[in-house]
Amino acid sequence: MLLTGTVVVDAETVLDDGAVVVDGDEIEAVGPAADVVDRYPEHARRAFDVVCPGFVQTHVHSVQSPGRGLADDTDLFEWLDDHILPIEAGMTADELALASTLSYVELLAHGTTCCVDHLSVAHSERAFEAAGEMGIRGVLGKVLMDRNAPEGLREDTEVALAESERLIQRYHGAFDDRLRYAVTPRFTPTCSESCLRGARELTDRYDGVRIHTHASEHASVIDDVTEERGMGDVEWLHEVGLTGEDVVLAHVILTDERERELLAQTGTHVTYCPSSNMKVGAGIAPIVDYLDRGINVALGNDGAPANNTLDPLAEMRQATLLQKVAHENPRTLPAETVFRMATRNGARAAGFDRVGRLEAGWKADLVGLRTDTSRGVPLHDVHSYLVYAATGSDVVFAMVDGRVVVEDGDVTTVRTDEVYRRAREAFEGRSWGDG
């Protein structure tokens, strides 16, 4: 396939009249359309207004889609304890598969081609199977909770780690290495020291496995960790081995100087989730300082009940506007920087070396967008359009590993009307408190 249009190669390079050639699961060529079209006359041609790398979201909760609209206007722990955890504890295996499918439909349709997915304690294999069938690229992990957790989610430490290892052996590198595994402690309040240290030991036994957890998301978490451990949340995670190039920490809002130094020195990745952080009133992450220190910062939508959309374009807009307000400086976090966070930075955090840029030899993960809307006219600067004006509804085409997964704005790998019907029947009006 040969795709033409305004080609956004990365945060630095744009080809106003460009072309991308896809052969199998890889990009074969990128360049000016006049040159590329002549070299590949037999390829099927597709024209889009904009072609760019697929977006990467490095913190999502696909299993939480049934809670959208049920936990609004609450603080973090009311949101979690009264709404989200009961939903996770009450879901059957079929319901979890349906919930994840619903999220993957939304992610793909809005241009997210890769995600780092924080699942739940039980039935995680069903999310892996759903992701594999639907064609999204991802790093998924079963949640670990061995203390301070409700019935149905709390597990014995060794049982939880053993089940994680079983899932690693089954799914890490599955679906032609499109899916990988992340060992996933929920966060420090629900994980014992032996659980956290065990997560590191398990990760180290397998090449390419990541660690994914929440960190320093809320003042109450910091207070609890400080009282129990005598240090901050990130510092405690470092103490038990959960920092490093293979670690993705979500939120990371409240950190001191020592913790920021640790993040930079260890190469730990940070996921910025501005919409979620604003919605629960958790604070504003010091993203500019992290970037200045060389910390790799990516973007995450978080879960549907905390956002309430899984739109990567909307999240880019929120990401920059919030930092401009925090710094009282309109030059803070320009569009190109935010675009990099949503593409190449995200791929680095997820551990995929050839994702997040349109380049020969890289994976064919890309999206096509329309600009024939009031938001896209006039089009002076394509990075500005993508970050400040576009929404997920402008995505008309998406490809992952060379496979078309969105065509004319619709996900092609599942019957979306059937997914929506089943989700309405299963989740609307459902009482979750009974487990």
Of 38, 26, 82, 65, which Cα lies nearest the Cα of 301?
65
Parallel, antiparallel, or unpaired: how do β-strands 247-251 and 210-215 relate? parallel
Q: What percent of the chain has pLDDT over 90?
A: 91
pLDDT of residue 196: 98
Residue 171 in tokens: 């799914």
Scored b (16 or more CB within 10 A) or e, 99-112 reads bbbbbbbbbbbbbb
- Averaged pLDDT, 360-383: 97
User: How confident is the model at residue 435, as a pLDDT?
Assistant: 39
Contact 157, 169 (CB under 8 A): no
Q: Residue 434 — very low, low, confident or very high, per pLDDT cuts 50/70/90?
A: very low
Q: What is the pLDDT of residues 17-45, one digit of tens each?
A: 999 999 999 999 999 999 999 999 889 89
Place of tokens 């992990």: 141
**In a 10 Å sphere around its CB, with 0-12 CB exposed, 13-18 middle and 19+ buried, how is residue 412 labelled?**
middle
- DSSP-derived 3-state class of residue 428: coil
**Main-chain dihedrals φ then ψ at residue 74, nearest 5 degrees:** -130, 160
Structure tokens at 215: 């960190």
**Whole-angstrom Cα distance, residue 106 to residue 310?**
6
Inter-residue contact 88 to 121 (CB < 8 Å): yes
Residue 80 pLDDT exceeds 50 = yes
The predicted model gives 60-86 an average pLDDT of 88
pLDDT digits (tens, 9 = 90+) for 301-321: 999 999 999 999 999 999 999
Asked whether residue 171 carries a pLDDT value surpassing 90, the answer given is: yes
Report how far Cα 21 is from the mean position of its chain's Cα atoms. Answer: 26
Residue 143 — left, alpha, or beta (φ > 0 → left; ψ -120 to 50 → alpha)? beta
Q: How confident is the model at residue 74 (pLDDT cuts 50, 70, 90)?
A: confident
pLDDT over threshold 90, residue 262: yes
433 band by pLDDT with thresholds 50, 70 and 90: low
Cα 432 to Cα 66, 89, 240, 424, 427, distances in angstroms: 10, 8, 34, 15, 9
Name the pLDDT band for 430 (thresholds 50, 70, 90). Answer: confident
Alpha-carbon torsion, ordered 139, 234, 79, 200, to 10 deg: 40
Does the structure show a pLDDT above 70 at 389? yes
**Domains annotated on the chain, with CATH:** 2-53+355-411 (2.30.40.10), 55-350 (3.20.20.140)
What would the mean pLDDT of 106-117 be, rounded to a whole number?
A: 98
Q: Which residues contact 198 (CB under 8 A, 6 or more apart)?
A: 157, 158, 161
What would the pLDDT profile of 158-168 be if each residue is shown by its tens digit? 999 999 999 99
Q: What is the CA radius of gyration of the chain?
A: 21
Could you tell me if 157 and 192 are in contact, meaning their C-beta atoms sit under 8 angstroms apart?
yes
Cα–Cα distances (Å) from 429 to 19, 65, 423, in that order, read: 48, 14, 11
Instruction: Give, to the nearest 10 degrees, the angle between helix 157-171 and helix 124-134.
Output: 20
Residue 272 has pLDDT above 60, yes or no: yes
Take residue 14 and report the two structure tokens written for it.
């744009």
Residue linked to tokens 């709390």: 154
Task: Tokens for 251, please give them.
Answer: 């939120």
Percent of the chain with pLDDT over 70: 99
Q: Which residues, 6 or more positions from 256, have their beta carbon under 8 angstroms from its beta carbon? A: 232
> CB pairs under 8 A, 24+ apart, for 14-23?
14/382, 14/383, 18/51, 20/51, 20/358, 20/366, 22/364, 22/366, 22/399, 22/402, 23/402
**pLDDT tens-digit profile of 175-227?**
999 999 999 999 999 999 999 999 999 999 999 999 999 999 989 899 999 99
Given pLDDT bands bounded at 50, 70 and 90, which one contains residue 231? very high
Taking CA atoms, 383 is separated from 140, 298, 342, 388, in Å, by 29, 17, 12, 8
pTM recorded for the entire structure: 0.97
- Of the candidates 270, 287, 348, 279, the one whose C-alpha atom is nearest the C-alpha of residue 309 is 279
Q: So what's the pLDDT on residue 168?
A: 98
